[in-house]
Structure 1
Amino acid sequence: MDRGDLVIKSIALNKELEAILAPYSNNTEFISHIRAPLAVEGRVLGTSSDNNHWPLLPLYVAQSINGEWTHALPFAAAMQFMLTAADIFDDLEDDDNILTGFTGLSKPVRMNIGSTLILLAYAAFARMNNLVSYQIFHSALETLTGYFIQSSSGQHEDLSGSLSSCFDETAYIAHIQKTSASQIQCACHIGAILSTDDPGVIASFADFGKYVGTALQLCNDIRDITTGKDICGKKVTLPVIFARNGSLHDQSNYIDYIYDARTPVTDDPEPVKRVLFQSGGVHYTLLQAQKFIHLAVDQLESLRPSKVNISLLSPFLNMAGFNE
């Protein structure tokens, strides 16, 4: 990824956000609370060079299709507002501040900030009204709303506990494609809607985003097993599912015991981590992530070279865990 191009796009997206926030800048305390979660790692105002590429994904998708990307700036800003709002509500539902880093703010204040970010997302989206046709604008807005309702449905599954003891791989993949992976799919799908009227290209980019998002979540699963985070949280992810469904009876019984709701949460994740690595669960998850990346590449390679510049998107494949 060309560093100069990355900087240009980052500055342009930051300016877009500032333009949206400008009418409310007289309320400095309120705006400072709005800015704070937008500046955490991986969000648009964050400083991490490794994770700060993802907010620019819609711009690179647009450029890869028709060579232009400025028309997608309002949508990229809207995505950041929506995703940050989702982070706030996720923290509130989990009774923590892991995603947003908020400290010292009451729950009602955080809820108000989250609600405001959703309104700002639609204000950002409205700025695209003069950049594309009404038909494209309406299609993109309908698609955006659909993805976030789908994600909320998946979050409901988490909150209701309907998947907490589910050791079915197919159900788990379907769940992450409904939730975390749908964010990447949304960015790619709408980036394409804004940049071409070719339904084949739009569909290919939607599937590209779904597969990249799935691979990214599977790599996150490996990371959170390695750090012990998901083990201490008794979160059932693909490495756990593979280990539990393996051929070793004692291993399956051990996983059932550890992840049973009646079993106390462990303070030492190392024994569970050893089982997940020795069972092949972590390695299997890595292979599945690579499989989904290959599926993503296949989606774009099925298009004629004149339809898309794949090279612009290859850095996102690497960031999702694919290095070949």
Structure 2
Amino acid sequence: MTIKEQLAVRAARVEDFLVLCMRDRGIPERLLRSMEYSLLAGGKRLRPVLMLSWAGLLGSEGVTDRIMPFAASLECIHTYSLIHDDLPAMDDDDLRRGRPSNHKQFDEATAILAGDGLLTEAFGLMSAASIVNGLPADRVLRAVFVLAKAAGAGGMVGGQAVDMELTGCTDVPLDDLRTMHAMKTGALITAACECGAILAGAGDADVENAREFGRNIGVAFQIVDDVLDVVSDTETLGKPAGSDEAMGKSTYPSLMGLEKSKSLASDYVEIALTRLSGYYGAEQEFLWQLARYIVDRVY
């Protein structure tokens, strides 16, 4: 299978769990429809797949089944962030994953509450890895700490705040852009890999390899997203193409140009791959190909 096909198969496993994970929880019907409208709207499921792959690489047989609720929590957090990012007070986007944004399909208040609900339910899913699936509580607690930090004010939320501050500014230093993206996009990708290793019971050296792999592909992923916003189209992206430039956002292409941006993304992937050099097997090969695929999307 191609890497796209492999990713789709793994994403489908996550999707099967997501279809059921919000049901029978006493959620009001309209709120549930809004939450599932965005949660089940498709996507690569990159973050949960990364978590499951690192756990599969470093853990014992069956560990990926036991951590599936925790992996699903990543998709809930990611989806909540997309719902809120699209709001008029934030990026003001009317299209997400090829269809109307949540606040356009429902209304702003419902979209805000759907995001709030997904974020809060995510922590219930994390705890289910231990309470329901029997994963050692100390592993789960450590992973919750890592993920909460990555998703919070010093990570993803803080990155969005900085992004809003920089929107419309000229001559934004490259270091500031890199820091913002490391928080807004990279932190959750990094945490996905790190938490996969932690939940598998890996040692410190393996956890560091997972973390640094995630950190570097997180940078590459954001650079490629910036490039695709310039060179791709709305139908392919599933969201408005050219929106970064229209909103006056600083991006890697705007600061470095397209070709240098592509080259930089490739450099970060090469650094990430060094963290896989000591491992073998199907999961190592999948992670290797997935890292390459992140950059191949722009060629």
**TM-score under structure 2 normalisation?**
0.82
- What does the per-residue CA deviation read over 1:103-137, in whole Å, with 9 as the maximum and x for residues that have no partner? 24221111111111112111111111143212111
Return closer, same or farther for 1:173/1:4 CA change in 2, 3 Å cut-off: closer
> Which AA in structure 1 matches 2:223?
L
Q: Aligned to 1:61, which of 49, 54, 68?
A: 54
Quote the Cα distance in structure 2 between the aligned partners of 1:157 and 1:234: 14
Q: Which residue of 2 aligns with 1:171?
A: 176
In structure 2, the residue matched to 1:217 is: 222
> 2:166 corresponds to which residue?
161
Q: Deviations over 1:265-307 (max 9, x none)?
A: xxxxxxxxxxxxxxxx211001100000000001221xx3369
Q: For the Cα contact (< 8 Å) 2:67–2:135, is it kept in 1?
A: no
**1:155 shift after superposition:** 1.2
Q: Which aligned pairs between 1:266-277 and structure 2 lie closer than 5 A? A: none
State the 1:170 CA deviation: 2.2
Query: Within the alignment, does 1:193 sit opposite 2:198 as a pair?
Result: yes
Contact 1:61 1:192 in 2 (8 A): yes
Q: Which moved more, 1:70-79 or 1:12-21?
A: 12-21
Change (3 A) 1:13 1:28: same
Paired residue for 2:124? 123
Partner residue, 2:255 = 241
User: C-alpha separation between the residues in 1 aligned to 2:10 and 2:150?
Assistant: 25
Residue of structure 2 aligned with 1:85, choices 76, 80, 83: 80
Q: CA RMSD in A?
A: 2.8
Please state if 1:299 is matched with 2:275.
Answer: yes
Cα displacement (A) at 1:28:
3.8
Mapped pair 1:288 → 2:264:
yes
Name the CA distance, whole Å, in 1 between partners of 2:282 and 2:224. Answer: 26
Mapping 1:100-119, distance limit 5 Å: 101-102=101-102, 103-119=104-120
Q: 2:95 aligns with which of 98, 111, 115?
A: 98
- Which of 142, 145, 153 in structure 2 is aligned with 1:142? 145
Give the equivalent residue in structure 1 for 2:238.
Answer: none
Structure 2 residue 285 is matched with structure 1 residue 311? yes
| Matched position secondary structure for 1:164 | coil
Q: TM (normalized to structure 1)? A: 0.76
Q: Whose relative contact order is higher, 1 or 2, with alpha carbons under 8 Å and at least 6 apart?
A: 2
Q: What is the deviation of 1:211?
A: 0.6
Shift of 1:57: 2.0
Note if contact 2:223-2:265 (Cα within 8 Å) is conserved in structure 1: yes
The count of residues paired between Structure 1 and Structure 2 equals 276
Q: Residues of 1 paired with 2:77 and 2:47: CA distance? A: 14
How far, CA to CA, are the matches of 1:287 and 1:297 in structure 2? 15
> Offset at 1:222?
1.0
2:236 alignment counterpart: none
> What is the Cα deviation at residue 308 of structure 1?
9.2
Q: Percent identity?
A: 19
The CA deviation at 1:40 is 2.7
Change in CA separation of 1:184 and 1:28 when aligned onto 2, cut-off 3 Å: same
Bigger Rg, structure 1 or 2? 1
- Unpaired segments of 5 or more residues in structure 1? 43-50, 243-280
Structure 1 residues 305 and 112 mapped into 2: Cα distance closer, same or farther (>3 Å)?
A: closer
